[in-house]
């Protein structure tokens, strides 16, 4: 259907036609679905929210999700970027933590923003996570864009969008979004570390080992317990 | 047409045997005559059958294929409702009004709302968005101080109202419709239509002799044509397949086609086709076809919400949509509607009580047809241009595509109003000829979505779209590109002293370029941030030469300026022609922290059934380091607070801290302002179409429109995230380290490791410290 309408397919700055979307969706979703059982994703996504919703909206301290129920469960949470098995290299000791821990959802929003804004964004992030867990990557990205309209500077939303793009196989856009996340994170080292992990994976996928090493190094420097003397 | 030539050869053949009759025997003649007659009859039968088959094929092909051309429907952004958002009760009420929600005084039903003091209770209609189904929800929104503070109701997640329809992409023949299915059509409408137009619809086979007889009788009684005898099927055939020619031959054709239609399709299919085909009004150049669109066109409501009286009016219009036009001939329309109500009551479709109540109801049509012709010509123009790049004309005008755009009707209204009012005032003050001052506005959000586009001060008139097509010199608006290029070399900081002294440059053609400052002064050594904030031309030109024209052009390109710009030094001072939307793209990159974010007017295109076809997602590309973008934004904030934009102080809400830049061109021909806050990027341009001087500086003209818009929009403050390796320090007017209490000292951001090494006299040559500051302060008290 789409082909009869689109004159000459997607352009550089043109639309994404949905066929391509479906294709990449299939590839990544199939590999993802093997690893993750849907119910686990949903449970974890809900847990995120349960813990974050109770956190004060203006709390500057990272509200790190208690990841215990998820630890040891099959696979990683919905929010973790999809990784294929080839990409074990940038692991390091901190990677397990990144993979298994939940995400901080509350934004480091400036005090001037209405306190209650957070709940709308939280709900949209929850929706995005569920959609992503169900393989509806485009819809998930749309929910994240809605969240960005409400709170444009929330680095966690940008991080999620980057993860969705990576899952869709859009490496360039994933990298740019991760960089945008990093630029908005300020001193939130946790999300910055994740963004650089993501960038490392992207370099890895492109076969750029040096770029991957460099990005991993930046991620490690931001992770807790980093010892610069090591 | 085709019948006549068929008859004449038959007659010719018939005559010949008659002439021979006298010579030959009578019997032979009769036999011959009979055979010929038989042949002729057979031939006629074949022809008639052939014609029947042809008609049959026509009907089936059209009826079973795509039955209607439906223009692409264009929607505005849906309003998101969430606690904490900046929204007044009146703004929500206006939005609901535009969507055709009715105000109720009891508990609202779907499509209704109730206002109680500072809260609004509403039952949303629900809408199928491309990414998710938005269910109908019953909620109560509570407001305080311009903020939606709380929402109560069942199942309240993130919530979107349905989007307003803002226009369509029409084909040449200009038919417009909103398709409906019979199963979704209110029972009352179907019953009323049959009762009034074709009582025997469910029993006849396409033609109704009784109906014709009844009509004739009624016409004879009335002494004129008061009733038509056509069945709904005949009416459909007439509208759908035939021209409006009135002849016996066409009547016959209509009859055959009606019978054939009834043969192939059941009553439901025919009725559904009729509901979508019938002509019910005219919206400018667009014909309103079908009840689905008519309901929106006259009542701004979906069909299923219509009252008995409203339904009766639509049925009344079947008889003559222009003659009974309720907006133009309300009295006539009411008489006909009440007649329809009588028929409905007499046939038991409604009871007498209902008819009585309905007769008392006013016509209830909206004053202006919404969305029929576009209220937003400039924005629609942009949408159309973008769509034409990606779709074929025919798909846009006939497939019923649904196009979801970024337009925010509230922001659009504010922008139109601000431009219209301010240009009128400025024109008077500057004693310009009436109507000569024109302008344009582009408003986008942090994701690069265009919320409003105004192409001229008379925003409702389609015409020269200045927001896209007024390609004018931008003057000092270009300067941030020069300064970003400088910062990106790593050799400059915001405190680097620049040389604001005269310069003369001779081009290869011998022409001498000798720029001057706007105030005709020479300022000597000034720190970089001051040169930008005060928009000094000499310092900027010298800076441009220091980093090179190539570098500046490269930076412009990286920022998203796509036009070809000649490599002349005058570019440093804005001898560059750009349109307001080009400028918006350039500043969008600055507002997005150095990430180029393509500005978009379309988010999503779906098929008529809501299947996603294409999306235009948020995309970013880093073109400047976050640190340099942060520094530049800080400098542009000081341009507003203490530079060329300082007259805004006091007009804008305190703490909004916008970043912005004025632009003024030779002889005050163009007045520009581009600036951004936490929520919006707004670019404004004022000038004259004949390119004569408008007598306005950037600050005196465009910036005023800009401020009018921002004040009404209630934006969040600009609060860029400070990159971890940016630090602040006090510097003096010469770009040396200074202290908080030194006179003329300002606090500037620096990339770590680039602090000035020299100290101001105020702090002495030693280390800077808090104690030193206190000493300075004490000393200043004594002095």
pLDDT interval class at A111 (50, 70, 90):
very low
A9 touches chain B (CB under 8 A): no
E strands, B26-100, in order: 72-75, 80-81
DSSP, collapsed to helix, strand or coil, labels residue B748 as strand
Taken as a whole, chain A contains a residue count of 230
Q: Are residues B148 and B286 in the same domain?
A: no
The domain that holds B641 is classified in CATH as 3.40.710.10
Q: Which residue has the tokens 């485009």?
A: A138
- Picking from A4-13, B362-371, B500-509, B752-761, which range would have the lowest pLDDT averaged per residue? A4-13
- Picking from B4-18, B321-335, B443-457, B594-608, which range would have the lowest pLDDT averaged per residue? B4-18
pLDDT interval class at B22 (50, 70, 90):
low
Q: Are B47 and B10 in contact (CB under 8 A)?
A: no
d(CA A161, CA B592): 16
All residues of chain A having their beta carbon less than 8 Å from the beta carbon of residue B147 are 114
Among B341, B360, B379, the domain-final residue is B360
Does residue B47 belong to any structural domain of this protein?
A: yes
**Is the pLDDT reported for residue A27 higher than 60?**
no
**Is the pLDDT reported for residue A103 higher than 70?**
no
Catalytic residue (one of B134, B162, B197, B604): B197
d(CA B556, CA B25): 104
Q: Give the residue with greater pLDDT, B212 vs A34.
A: B212
Considering CB atoms only, which of B157, B390, B626 is closest to A183?
Answer: B626
Q: Which residue has the tokens 């991957």?
A: A212
- The CA–CA distances, whole Å, from B732 to A65, B399, B523, B646, B764 equal 47, 65, 15, 20, 12
Does residue B701 belong to any structural domain of this protein?
A: no
- Picking from B466-470, B561-565, B731-735, which range would have the lowest pLDDT averaged per residue? B731-735
Q: Are residues B144 and B200 in the same domain?
A: no
DSSP, collapsed to helix, strand or coil, labels residue B404 as strand
pLDDT for B490 equals: 95
pLDDT interval class at B23 (50, 70, 90):
low
pLDDT interval class at A105 (50, 70, 90):
very low
Q: What is the pLDDT of residues B730-739, one digit of tens each?
A: 998 888 899 8
Q: Are residues B481 and B560 in the same domain?
A: yes
Q: What is the pLDDT of residues A41-81, one digit of tens each?
A: 444 444 444 333 333 333 333 322 222 233 233 333 333 33
Q: Are residues B306 and B202 in the same domain?
A: yes
B589 φ, ψ (degrees, to nearest 5): -65, -40
Q: Are residues B194 and B296 in the same domain?
A: yes
Asked if the Cβ–Cβ distance from B446 to A124 is below 8 Å, we say no
Please, what is the end-to-end C-alpha distance for chain A in angstroms? 58
Does residue A87 belong to any structural domain of this protein?
A: no
> How many helices and strands in chain B, by DSSP H and E?
24, 32
pLDDT for B344 equals: 94
The CA distance from B82 to the nearest CA of chain A, in Å, is 6
Q: Which residue has the tokens 């010199």?
A: B473
Among B324, B339, B360, the domain-final residue is B360
Mean pLDDT across chain B: 87
Q: Which residues contact B543 (CB under 8 A, 6 or more apart)?
A: B482, B483, B486, B492, B498, B528, B531, B572
Instruction: Please say whether the dihedral angle defined by the alpha carbons of residues B405, B406, B408 and B413, taken in this order, is positive or negative.
Output: negative
pLDDT for B42 equals: 87
**Is the pLDDT reported for residue A5 higher than 60?**
no
Does residue B143 belong to any structural domain of this protein?
A: yes
Does residue B702 belong to any structural domain of this protein?
A: no
Counting other chains too, the contacts that A11-16 makes at CB distance below 8 Å and 24 or more residues apart are: A11/B389, A11/B390, A13/B598, A14/B389, A14/B390, A14/B614, A14/B616, A15/B390, A15/B602, A15/B605, A15/B613, A15/B614, A15/B615, A15/B616, A16/B614, A16/B615, A16/B616, A16/B617
Considering CB atoms only, which of B604, B618, B717 is closest to A148?
Answer: B618
Does residue A217 belong to any structural domain of this protein?
A: yes
A53 touches chain B (CB under 8 A): no
Asked if the Cβ–Cβ distance from B395 to A152 is below 8 Å, we say no
Q: Give the residue with greater pLDDT, B486 vs A5.
A: B486
**Is the pLDDT reported for residue A181 higher than 60?**
yes
**Is the pLDDT reported for residue B583 higher than 50?**
yes
Instruction: Read off the pLDDT of each residue in A112-139 and give the average, rounded to a whole number.
Output: 80
Instruction: Read off the pLDDT of each residue in B473-499 and give the average, rounded to a whole number.
Output: 97
- Picking from A157-161, A225-229, B563-567, B745-749, which range would have the lowest pLDDT averaged per residue? A225-229
Q: Give the residue with greater pLDDT, A215 vs B384.
A: A215
d(CA B545, CA B526): 17
pTM value > 0.80: no
Q: What is the pLDDT of residues B751-772, one digit of tens each?
A: 999 999 988 888 754 444 444 4
Q: Are B637 and B677 in contact (CB under 8 A)?
A: no
d(CA B487, CA B217): 91
B578 φ, ψ (degrees, to nearest 5): -135, 160
**Is the pLDDT reported for residue B598 higher than 80?**
yes
Single out the residue of B290, B300, B258, B271 nearest to residue B191, CA to CA: B271
Taken as a whole, chain B contains a residue count of 783
- Picking from A21-25, B58-62, B425-429, which range would have the lowest pLDDT averaged per residue? A21-25
Best of B619, B657, B722 to substitute, by most chain A Cβ atoms within 10 angstroms, is: B619
**Is the pLDDT reported for residue A88 higher than 60?**
no
The CA distance from B397 to the nearest CA of chain A, in Å, is 11
Q: Are residues B56 and B76 in the same domain?
A: no
Q: What is the pLDDT of residues B662-708, one digit of tens each?
A: 999 999 999 999 999 999 999 999 999 999 999 999 999 999 999 99
Instruction: Read off the pLDDT of each residue in B343-356 and give the average, rounded to a whole number.
Output: 94
Instruction: Read off the pLDDT of each residue in B455-460 and give the average, rounded to a whole number.
Output: 88
B557 φ, ψ (degrees, to nearest 5): -65, -45
E strands, A85-148, in order: none
Number of domains composing chain B: 5
Asked if the Cβ–Cβ distance from B614 to A119 is below 8 Å, we say no
B122 φ, ψ (degrees, to nearest 5): -145, 145
Asked if the Cβ–Cβ distance from B621 to A176 is below 8 Å, we say yes
d(CA A17, CA A12): 12
Q: Are residues B84 and B200 in the same domain?
A: no
Single out the residue of B366, B188, B385 nearest to residue B294, CA to CA: B366
Does residue A169 belong to any structural domain of this protein?
A: yes
Q: Which residues contact A23 (CB under 8 A, 6 or more apart)?
A: none
Percent of chain B with pLDDT over 70: 90
Q: Which residue has the tokens 């930008």?
A: B532
Q: Are B401 and B606 in contact (CB under 8 A)?
A: yes
Does residue A208 belong to any structural domain of this protein?
A: yes
Instruction: Output the CA angle B700-B703-B708, nearest 5 degrees.
Output: 115
pLDDT for A86 equals: 33
d(CA B287, CA B301): 18
d(CA B632, CA B371): 42
d(CA B712, CA B392): 39
Range of A220-224, B239-243, B480-484 with top mean pLDDT? B480-484
Residue ranges making up the domain that contains B56: 3-64
pLDDT interval class at B388 (50, 70, 90):
confident
DSSP sequence for B418-461 = HHHHHHHHHHHHTTPPTT-EEEEEEEE-TTSBEEEEE-SSSTTS
Q: What is the pLDDT of residues B129-186, one digit of tens each?
A: 988 889 999 999 999 998 999 999 876 777 899 999 888 887 655 677 888 888 889 9
Does residue B86 belong to any structural domain of this protein?
A: yes
The domain that holds A160 is classified in CATH as 1.25.40.10
Token pair, residue B169, equals 């992409």
Asked if the Cβ–Cβ distance from A18 to B621 is below 8 Å, we say no
> Which residue intervals of B152-247 are DSSP H helices?
187-197, 209-222, 232-241
Catalytic residue (one of B295, B398, B444, B476): B476
**Is the pLDDT reported for residue A4 higher than 50?**
no
pLDDT interval class at B392 (50, 70, 90):
confident
Q: Give the residue with greater pLDDT, B741 vs B187.
A: B187
Does residue B630 belong to any structural domain of this protein?
A: yes
Instruction: Output the CA angle B638-B644-B647, nearest 5 degrees.
Output: 95
pLDDT interval class at A92 (50, 70, 90):
very low
Single out the residue of B685, B645, B679, B641 nearest to residue B661, CA to CA: B645
Q: Are residues B636 and B602 in the same domain?
A: yes
Residue ranges making up the domain that contains A71: 28-79+97-222
pLDDT for A70 equals: 30
d(CA B646, CA B534): 10
Q: Which residue has the tokens 């005058």?
A: B570
pLDDT for B650 equals: 85
3-state secondary structure B601-621: CEEEEECCCCCEEEECCCCCE
A58 touches chain B (CB under 8 A): no
Single out the residue of B174, B165, B162, B170 nearest to residue B72, CA to CA: B170
Percent of chain A with pLDDT over 70: 47
B436 is catalytic: no
Q: How far is CA B697 from the centre of its chain?
A: 31
pLDDT for B28 equals: 73
**Is the pLDDT reported for residue B719 higher than 60?**
yes
Q: Are residues B158 and B289 in the same domain?
A: no
DSSP sequence for B93-128 = HHHHHHTTPEE-SSS--TTEEEEETTEEEEE---EE
Q: Which residue of A has its CA nearest to B147?
A: A114
B476 is catalytic: yes
Q: Are residues B147 and B289 in the same domain?
A: no
Does residue A183 belong to any structural domain of this protein?
A: yes
Q: Give the residue with greater pLDDT, A29 vs B688.
A: B688
Among B331, B360, B389, the domain-final residue is B360
Q: Which residue has the tokens 């945008």?
A: A180
pLDDT for A20 equals: 40
The CA distance from B603 to the nearest CA of chain A, in Å, is 9
Does residue B443 belong to any structural domain of this protein?
A: no
ipTM of the complex: 0.80
Instruction: Read off the pLDDT of each residue in B550-568 and give the average, rounded to a whole number.
Output: 95
pLDDT for B635 equals: 97
pLDDT for B555 equals: 97
Instruction: Read off the pLDDT of each residue in A112-133 and give the average, rounded to a whole number.
Output: 77
Number of domains composing chain A: 1
pLDDT for B781 equals: 54
DSSP, collapsed to helix, strand or coil, labels residue A116 as coil
B593 φ, ψ (degrees, to nearest 5): 65, 30
- Picking from B187-196, B370-379, B402-411, B442-451, which range would have the lowest pLDDT averaged per residue? B370-379
Q: Are residues B92 and B36 in the same domain?
A: no
**Is the pLDDT reported for residue B421 higher than 50?**
yes
d(CA B501, CA A41): 65
Does residue B430 belong to any structural domain of this protein?
A: no
Q: What is the pLDDT of residues B622-666, one digit of tens each?
A: 999 999 999 999 999 999 999 999 999 889 988 899 999 999 999
- Bridge-based pairing of strands B80-81 and A16-17 is unpaired
- Picking from B123-132, B310-319, B546-555, which range would have the lowest pLDDT averaged per residue? B123-132
Q: Are A4 and B395 in contact (CB under 8 A)?
A: yes
Single out the residue of B166, B125, B95, B68 nearest to residue B452, CA to CA: B166
- Bridge-based pairing of strands B450-454 and B524-527 is unpaired
Q: How far is CA A78 from the centre of its chain?
A: 9
Q: Are residues B326 and B295 in the same domain?
A: yes
Asked if the Cβ–Cβ distance from B390 to A11 is below 8 Å, we say yes
Single out the residue of A180, A162, A161, A158 nearest to residue A171, CA to CA: A162
- The CA–CA distances, whole Å, from B780 to B729, B731, B747, B774 equal 20, 17, 19, 10
A63 touches chain B (CB under 8 A): no
Instruction: Read off the pLDDT of each residue in A10-18 and give the average, rounded to a whole number.
Output: 45
**Is the pLDDT reported for residue B476 higher than 80?**
yes
pLDDT for A51 equals: 38
Q: At what angle do helices B308-317 and B187-197 cross, to 10 degrees?
A: 40
């Amino acid at each position: 259907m789409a082909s009869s309408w689109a004159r000459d397919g997607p352009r550089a700055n043109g639309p994404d036609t949905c066929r391509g979307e479906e294709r990449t969706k299939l590839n990544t979703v199939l590999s993802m679905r093997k690893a993750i059982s849907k119910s686990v994703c949903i449970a974890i996504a809900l847990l995120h929210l349960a813990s974050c919703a109770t956190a004060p909206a203006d709390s500057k301290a990272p509200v790190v999700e208690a990841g215990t129920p998820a630890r040891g469960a099959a696979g990683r949470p919905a929010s973790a970027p999809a990784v294929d098995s080839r990409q074990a290299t940038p692991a390091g000791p901190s990677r397990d933590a990144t993979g298994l821990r939940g995400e901080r959802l509350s934004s480091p929003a400036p005090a001037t923003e209405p306190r209650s804004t957070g709940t709308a964004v939280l709900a949209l992030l929850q929706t995005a996570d569920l959609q992503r867990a169900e393989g509806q990557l485009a819809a998930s990205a749309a929910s994240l864009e809605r969240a960005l309209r409400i709170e444009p500077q929330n680095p966690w939303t940008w991080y999620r969008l980057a993860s969705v793009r990576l899952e869709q196989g859009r490496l360039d856009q994933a990298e740019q979004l991760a960089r945008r996340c990093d630029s908005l994170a300020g001193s939130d080292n946790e999300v910055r570390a994740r963004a650089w992990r993501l960038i490392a994976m992207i370099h890895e996928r492109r076969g750029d080992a040096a770029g991957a090493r460099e990005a991993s190094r930046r991620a490690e420097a931001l992770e807790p317990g980093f010892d610069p003397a090591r | 047409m085709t019948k006549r030539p068929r008859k004449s050869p038959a007659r010719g053949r018939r005559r010949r045997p008659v002439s021979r009759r006298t010579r030959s025997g009578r019997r032979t003649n009769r036999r011959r005559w009979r055979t010929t007659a038989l042949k002729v009859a057979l031939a006629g039968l074949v022809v008639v059958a052939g014609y029947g088959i042809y008609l049959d094929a026509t009907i089936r092909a059209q009826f079973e294929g795509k039955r209607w051309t439906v223009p692409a429907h264009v929607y505005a952004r849906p309003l998101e409702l969430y606690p904490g958002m900046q929204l007044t009760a009146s703004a929500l009420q206006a939005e609901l009004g535009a969507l055709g929600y009715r105000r109720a005084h009891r508990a609202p039903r779907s499509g209704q709302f109730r206002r109680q003091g500072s809260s609004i209770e509403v039952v949303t209609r629900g809408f199928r968005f491309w990414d998710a189904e938005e269910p109908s929800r019953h909620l109560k929104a509570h407001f305080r101080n311009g903020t939606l503070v709380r929402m109560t109701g069942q199942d309240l997640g993130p919530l979107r109202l349905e989007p307003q329809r803002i226009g369509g992409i029409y084909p040449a023949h200009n038919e417009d419709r909103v398709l409906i299915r019979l199963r979704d059509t209110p029972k009352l409408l179907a019953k009323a239509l049959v009762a009034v137009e074709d009582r025997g619809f469910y029993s006849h086979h396409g033609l109704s002799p009784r109906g014709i007889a009844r009509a004739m009788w009624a016409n004879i009684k009335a002494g004129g044509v008061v009733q038509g005898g056509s069945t709904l099927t005949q009416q459909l055939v007439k509208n759908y397949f035939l021209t409006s020619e009135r002849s016996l031959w066409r009547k016959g054709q209509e009859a055959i086609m009606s019978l054939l239609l009834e043969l192939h399709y059941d009553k439901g299919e025919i009725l559904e086709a009729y509901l979508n085909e019938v002509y019910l009004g005219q919206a400018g150049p667009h014909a309103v076809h079908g009840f689905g669109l008519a309901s929106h066109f006259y009542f701004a409501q979906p069909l299923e919400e219509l009252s008995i009286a409203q339904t009766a009016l639509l049925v009344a219009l079947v008889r003559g949509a222009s003659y009974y036009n309720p907006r133009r001939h309300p009295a006539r329309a009411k008489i006909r509607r009440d007649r329809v109500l009588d028929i409905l009551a007499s046939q038991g479709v409604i009871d007498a009580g209902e008819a009585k109540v309905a007769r008392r109801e006013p016509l209830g049509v909206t004053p202006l047809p919404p969305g029929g012709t576009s209220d937003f010509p400039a924005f629609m123009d942009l949408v159309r241009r973008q769509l034409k790049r990606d779709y074929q004309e025919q798909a846009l005008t006939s497939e019923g595509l649904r196009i979801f755009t970024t337009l925010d009707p509230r922001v659009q209204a504010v922008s139109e109003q601000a431009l219209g009012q301010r240009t009128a005032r400025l024109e008077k003050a500057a004693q310009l000829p009436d109507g000569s001052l024109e302008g344009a506005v582009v408003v986008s959000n942090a994701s690069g979505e265009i919320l409003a586009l105004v192409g001229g001060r008379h925003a409702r008139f389609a015409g020269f779209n200045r927001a896209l097509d007024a390609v004018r010199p931008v003057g000092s608006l270009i300067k941030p590109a020069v300064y970003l290029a400088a910062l990106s070399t790593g050799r400059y900081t915001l405190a680097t002293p620049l040389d604001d002294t005269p310069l003369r440059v001779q081009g290869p053609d011998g022409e001498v370029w000798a720029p001057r400052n706007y105030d005709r002064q020479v300022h000597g050594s000034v720190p970089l941030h001051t040169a930008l904030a005060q928009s000094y031309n000499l310092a900027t030109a010298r800076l441009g030469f220091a980093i090179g024209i190539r570098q500046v052009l490269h930076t412009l390109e990286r920022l998203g300026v796509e036009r070809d710009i000649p490599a002349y030094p005058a570019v440093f001072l804005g001898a560059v022609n750009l349109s307001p939307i080009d400028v918006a793209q350039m500043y969008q990159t600055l507002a997005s922290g150095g990430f180029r974010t393509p500005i978009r007017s379309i988010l999503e295109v779906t098929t008529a059934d809501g299947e996603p076809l294409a999306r235009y997602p948020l995309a970013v590309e880093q073109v400047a380091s976050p640190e340099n973008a942060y520094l530049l934004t800080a400098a542009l904030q000081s341009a507003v607070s203490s530079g060329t934009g300082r007259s805004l102080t006091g007009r804008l809400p305190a703490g909004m801290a916008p970043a912005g830049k004025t632009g003024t061109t030779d002889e005050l021909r163009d007045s520009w302002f581009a600036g951004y806050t936490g929520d919006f990027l707004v670019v404004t341009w004022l000038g004259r179409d004949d390119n004569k001087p408008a007598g306005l500086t950037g600050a005196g003209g465009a910036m005023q429109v800009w401020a009018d818009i921002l004040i009404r929009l209630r934006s969040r403050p600009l609060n860029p995230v400070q990159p971890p390796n940016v630090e602040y320090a006090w510097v003096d007017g010469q770009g040396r380290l200074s202290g908080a209490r030194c006179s003329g000292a300002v606090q500037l951001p620096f990339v770590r490791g680039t602090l000035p090494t020299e100290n101001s006299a105020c702090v002495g040559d030693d280390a800077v410290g808090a104690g030193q500051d206190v000493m300075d302060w004490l000393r200043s008290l004594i002095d």
